[in-house]
Amino acid sequence: MRQIVLDTETTGLDPAQGHRIIEIGGVELLDRRLTRRHFHRYVNPGREVEAGAFEVHGISNDFLADKPPFAQVAREFVEFVRGAELIIHNAPFDIGFLDNELGLLGAEWGRMGDLCTVIDTLALARARHPGQKNRLDDLCRRYAVDNSQRELHGALLDAEILAEVYLELIGARQASLVLVEEMAISLGSARRAAAQRPILLPPRLTDEEALAHREFVATLGEEPVWRHYAA
């Protein structure tokens, strides 16, 4: 399975108001493992970056002045993402901008839905963590993903961070750890019965803790399952 974790930065919030893409960043996953392949381009939007957008990503008009227009990077971008499954946080935003850029090139370029399928990690996070904040920074804190370098938004950095968050969100990292452990058992001693300890480990409970446990279990009724562990 080939997936591209993707992010964009823009001049503003709405392509219908003439706003354009200024940065595209994407990293490749094969079978949910990061490869060394990535796509990263800055794009001259042919218009001013709004002050509010600049506060978010810090990409200035002066910096973009000598960058190529989207038309010059479009074919390379399309070939990078074609046939992949795109992983995007708040996908309608980025897909809306990308569809707009392709549309400005002409109807023959089609739309992103003609090239790729899309998974929205914001929708995944909301389903898994209903009622909680699910911005990328929130998910980084929740899953202990290091985002210490993310002082400002940046398409490639955010794509790299989102890739780690996505793997945590779908449980792929935990599954990989289980698989590694199972492989170690299989290679080492799967065909041998586990040896019993020659001397049992001493109990870790103090006498006072054991007494308190028995007294608590006695309050649970005549035949609670916990009575089997009251000794």
* Catalytic residue numbers, as ranges: 153
Contacts of 31 (CB under 8 A, 6+ apart): 1
Residue 24 near residue 77 (C-beta atoms within 8 A): yes
Of 200, 157, 215, the closest CA to residue 6 belongs to 157
Of 165, 80, 86, 159, the closest CA to residue 125 belongs to 165
Alpha-carbon distances, residue 143 vs 72, 97, 140, 171 (angstroms): 38, 29, 5, 11
Q: Which long-range contacts (CB under 8 A, 24 or more apart) does 106-114 make?
A: 109/74, 109/78, 112/81, 112/86
Contacts of 13 (CB under 8 A, 6+ apart): 19, 53
Q: Residue 43 in 3-state DSSP?
A: coil
